[in-house]
Amino acid sequence: MEKADASGGGGMKSFEYGDREMSSTELFFSVASMILGLGILTLPRGLTTTVPSSDGWICIVISGVIAMGIAWILAKLSASFPQQTYVEFSARLVGKPMALGLAALFLVAYICFASYEIRGAAEVSKQYLFKVTPVEVIGLVFTLVVVYGVCGTRIGLLRLNLLFYPIVFGVFLLMLAMNINTFDWEHLKPMGVSHWKEIALGTKESVFSYLGFEVILFYTAMMNRTEKVAQATVWGVGITMVLYLLLFLFVVGAFSAEATAQLTFPTVELAKEIEVPGAIIERLESLFFTIWLMTIFNSAAMALDICATIVNAFVKVRNPKTVVFFLTPFIYFLAFFPDNLAELSDFGTFTSVADLTAGMLIPMVLYGITKIKGVPGHGGN
């Protein structure tokens, strides 16, 4: 505050500096929003294809616990180096050349992540909202909206999660509550009949749906107090696990495991089953889908923001937002490189493996290095 008082316009500057700090609550919502993307639409189909019964819920719980464990490790790693991003603290651990190589892998993974989210949002929008509009046009408009969001302040972008996620969460629970009449317990039977190999494959399938919490490797640097980073991150993964679990049980309970495996987007189909008495509201799935797009926007925007942060570590530019305009054409054209939904699914698998490697496995190795080298928990030397 002394600095603010010493300069005439310093009061506003002091407020802006303080306002750019990220709280543990904002980190919690950012983690939960980043994870909850396309997976919420496709997870029930993927699980019932691998585990042909209602036992897919076991896979969701197992993969969720694994994800929370990895999230705790990544949170501890990030909290060990306050106000430093992944690129900066990895350079302290393995040297700058190796750190830049690891950052490049992360960049590739998140360029693919942003492209996949944009293409997925465009495909689902065309199928359920804009049937006659070319998917490329839908994707272009969505991309421009994402770019607009990223070109604002970083803390403003992250606080959109605080605004949007409770709405998405509330609409999601409302959708499940209004489907109670379509829920049939008989569709969940028999339970506990799946072979352990099917459970293992289902766990592998569902663990990809938890990708996204690795954003803490970059956004923890915006926090002055990192004591609650691990708690906020684990809670963000945990609430997503609960949502996935409820969604899977309701979808299978409404359609059966066999029917769910044949649906492209089971969650949207579940929303279509809602009937409002008196037909006050028609096509309620459009409302759900529109709300869901908020989450996709946040996920794609944070991915693009992190890509720009990494590129800026390689090439210092006067205005970091210039990097966003440089990356956008690559992300857009990569999004429409797959010719059909089958190729898009393969692209999604590649993206998940790349993200798992660059954003989770490698940082876990770095955490092991901090234990071996005895790096102080608060970033001291």
Written in H, E and C, the secondary structure of the chain is CHHHHHCCCHHHHHHHHHHCCCCHHHHHHHHHHHHCCCHHHHHHHHHHHHCCCCCHHHHHHHHHHHHHHHHHHHHHHHHCCCCCCHHHHHHHHHCHHHHHHHHHHHHHHHHHHHHHHHHHHHHHHHHHCCCCCCHHHHHHHHHHHHHHHHCCCHHHHHHHHHHHHHHHHHHHHHHHHCCHHHCCHHHHCCCCCCCHHHHHHHHHHHHHHHCCHHHHHHHHHHCCCCCCHHHHHHHHHHHHHHHHHHHHHHHHHHHCHHHHCCCCCHHHHHHHCCCCHHHCCCCHHHHHHHHHHHHHHHHHHHHHHHHHHHHHHHCCCCCCHHHHHHHHHHHHHHHCCCCCHHHHHHHHHHHHHHHHHHHHHHHHHHHHHHHHHCCCCCCCC
On whether residue 375 sits in a domain, the answer given is no
pTM (2 d.p.): 0.85
In this predicted model, what pLDDT tens digit does every residue of 296-348 receive, in sequence order?
Answer: 888 899 999 999 989 888 877 777 778 888 899 999 999 998 888 888 888 88
On whether residue 78 sits in a domain, the answer given is yes
Q: Which amino acid type is present at position 218?
A: F
Domain count, the chain: 1
Supply angle C-alpha 265, 267, 271, rounded to 5: 120
On whether residue 205 sits in a domain, the answer given is yes
Q: What is residue 115's predicted lDDT score, i.e. its pLDDT?
A: 93
d(CA 280, CA 70): 46
On whether residue 10 sits in a domain, the answer given is no
In this predicted model, what pLDDT tens digit does every residue of 46-90 receive, in sequence order?
Answer: 888 888 778 888 889 999 999 999 999 999 998 888 888 888 888
On whether residue 62 sits in a domain, the answer given is yes
Tell me how crowded residue 365 is: count the other CB atoms within 10 A of its CB. Answer: 11
d(CA 185, CA 136): 42
CA quadruple 185, 190, 191, 194: dihedral positive or negative?
Answer: negative
Per the prediction, the chain carries an average pLDDT of 82
On whether residue 36 sits in a domain, the answer given is yes
b/e per residue, 94-133, with b = 16+ CB within 10 A?
A: eeeeebbebbebbbbbbbbbbbbbbbbbbbbbbebeeeee
Domain that includes residue 258, residue range: 23-368
On whether residue 237 sits in a domain, the answer given is yes
Tell me the CATH number at 188.
1.20.1740.10
Position 95 pLDDT exceeds 60? yes
In this predicted model, what pLDDT tens digit does every residue of 167-226 receive, in sequence order?
Answer: 888 888 888 888 788 877 877 777 777 778 888 888 888 888 888 889 999 988 888 777
Tell me how crowded residue 332 is: count the other CB atoms within 10 A of its CB. Answer: 21
On whether residue 18 sits in a domain, the answer given is no
